[in-house]
Structure 1
């Protein structure tokens, strides 16, 4: 028999996922099922199959083909939209993982909300709506505006919009329903929710045999109101909030049935205390895993791989610093004509990556035609504390230049 392998479902974009795949390959050889032939993934994998990741039967056949040649010790995905496929394959192969019903509960935000309420986990009042008229009636029943509209099974804040008045409802419905048209199959339609006012955070957790350890708090900044597009994240090893929100994150994971793996639990810090937004049964996006590693030394991607293979991860903190990531956005919708980082002090700059090339189209804010915006790049900085990491990040972002040619400019 071959050495035990970890089967990864989907790889995603290189600049956001390479560090995850590299970390996962540290202790266990990798197999990959993806929808394209591997390129940048090749150094980290032993074998692969190409198939339609949206078709569970095709993914199962690809896994069966790999299992004929290799011993599969675990199944893992870092992608929100492939969580159900990974859970079902793990169950089929008899390897560690969450029950598909639990993963389905995290994917369907309506089910999550119901389970939060049933378990007395503080969350937001909500209702499922299927039309603009239904949304108007639901807003009245929930106590009026502002409210939030969101697709039930999307990710990355796609289609999520705050609606401040009945006059804004039609435009908000267009954004949310456009996002819902392209969401995962685990949920249908749009949720209308009570607007939770306050700073947004996430708790990065590791759960093994139902016991959850909170590793770090990520403090988020969002912009582009009435949307909730994330503009920056900061992680500090000594964040005093961790002790307060860790039990709530653990309760939320129990409520939806997550017993295994790395999770990203989102909350709002309201005047009534922390309240749940959602549970994501995978490592957080926007390179949050990198921030946790820079700040604490704990490698969440490596931990996720260990758990998937039935091993206890190393969660010992070896650093006590802070790290921040900031998104570089274009000044307007258009075609990129120039991008650069002006000269300056890069001492605290850990990473800067452009997500666009000259000639690429970028968008500043969502619309019914492009329900998610297209960032130009991102930068990661570190510091001795959160204030220092933020200050260094602001200095870098002030030097990042993106110029675009807008349709109006082009016509002129």
Structure 2
């Protein structure tokens, strides 16, 4: 039985890593800046009761807590949260545990720095620039020319992203340049955004998510998730189809692994987003952790084994997962038809064996709106099988048959008024 140090939770409430640890017979401790955030959630608190300990470090001032962390004798450390990946790498280095090295962890948290490193390694990059402030943003957009995408250099989760495709978008940008240039401000967990924006070429093509695991500089591609978006101006993903890697992605693997090698990615999981264009693959970004938004469940369904268990094994023993037979797994997301407060979500019962699960993430009373970014999604439908068209059709039928009731703000949902 091994003792795992788990650093924060992805999404602030995703306990799948806890479940995988306990299922494999391991013990775990949670390291967090705010234990109250987790204990206040009815679905998370019972999992904390099963932890060996919860180490709370206000402000995540790790240097002040290293002695107490080291005294717990951990066998591995796992982080699925972008905002803590650098501190986790430093803790791992201090404790002699397998993890992504601190230099690459820091590099991967700056999208512009990644582009610069790849260019130095001879991997072609699109036109891009880093901007600070309203006037710099407008001048940079004018200089680079359309189409462009604007996003925080340290962003994640497809949030705070703006696409500039035509003259109308430029008019809107000039009207909103001040707030856009200010960026997200605060990412939560007490982490402030850097305040810089990356402006880069916007490519047409097929967006894919490539999920990899690495050990001692050797890489394995687990699968490729082809993503679908809601119509512009939304940047939310409405679903995707993950296809397991059974050796059919040779050319893509070579390119992906060259990217990972160029930034010194030596250990851990990575979620690499790539736009497949008529001129070949174009990097969108490298996320130095396992994919979020419950997509590890998609990987697990398609590979018929737990992605979290593989990640734990990677950090404990340095073992890379093996490739699995060809399989598809599909998601389709549920979203609000209008802005307001969520009253109810009614899902029709299904008995199709290809249905993996229907999961609701939002609760009655939550403020909701039609999807502008991924934070607006209410839940998902997941299906799996060898016939891609059939499982996609099944997922879409379930979404279409789901009734989502939204009421205006101010309506009493308690039934007492």
Normalising by structure 1, what TM-score?
Answer: 0.88
Deviations 1:145-168 (A, max 9, x none): 121110111111111110123213
* Structure 2 residue 120 is matched with structure 1 residue 118: yes
- Structure 2 residue ranges without an equivalent (≥5): 40-44, 413-417
Q: 1:14 to 1:127 in 2, by over 3 A?
A: closer
- Structure 1 residue ranges without an equivalent (≥5): none
Q: 1:332 to 1:124 in 2, by over 3 A?
A: farther
Deviations 1:29-76 (A, max 9, x none): 211112225514236532221233xx342x4444532432x3112211
Q: Report if aligned partners of 1:233, 1:288 keep a CA contact under 8 Å in 2.
A: no
- Matched position secondary structure for 1:90: helix
CA distance in 2, matches of 1:63, 1:315: 35
Q: Report if aligned partners of 1:263, 1:281 keep a CA contact under 8 Å in 2.
A: yes
Structure 1 stretch displaced more, 184-193 or 273-282: 184-193
Q: Report if aligned partners of 1:121, 1:248 keep a CA contact under 8 Å in 2.
A: no
* Structure 1 match to 2:51: 45
1:121 Cα deviation after fit: 2.5
* Structure 2 residue 107 is matched with structure 1 residue 105: yes
CA distance in 2, matches of 1:260, 1:403: 45
Deviations 1:321-372 (A, max 9, x none): 2111121100011111221113455442211121222221112244xxxx76
* Structure 2 match to 1:148: 149
Q: Report if aligned partners of 1:328, 1:397 keep a CA contact under 8 Å in 2.
A: yes
CA distance in 1, matches of 2:216, 2:8: 25
Number of residue pairs matched by the alignment = 397
Give 1:20-31 correspondences, 5 Å limit.
20-25=17-22, 26=24, 28-31=26-29
1:171 Cα deviation after fit: 5.2
Deviations 1:197-253 (A, max 9, x none): 111001111111001111111111122413421111211226786223111211111
Q: Please give the root-mean-square deviation of Cα atoms over the aligned residues, in Å.
A: 2.6
CA distance in 2, matches of 1:379, 1:123: 36
Q: 1:175 to 1:241 in 2, by over 3 A?
A: farther
* Structure 2 match to 1:293: 300
Which of 303, 311, 329 is equivalent to 1:323?
A: 329
Deviations 1:117-151 (A, max 9, x none): 11222443210111232222212322x11211101
* Structure 2 match to 1:8: 6
- Matched position secondary structure for 1:277: strand
* Structure 2 residue 174 is matched with structure 1 residue 170: yes
Which of 58, 62, 67 is equivalent to 1:64?
A: 67
1:285 Cα deviation after fit: 1.2
CA distance in 2, matches of 1:315, 1:396: 33
Which of 124, 127, 130 is equivalent to 1:128?
A: 130
* Structure 2 residue 199 is matched with structure 1 residue 192: yes
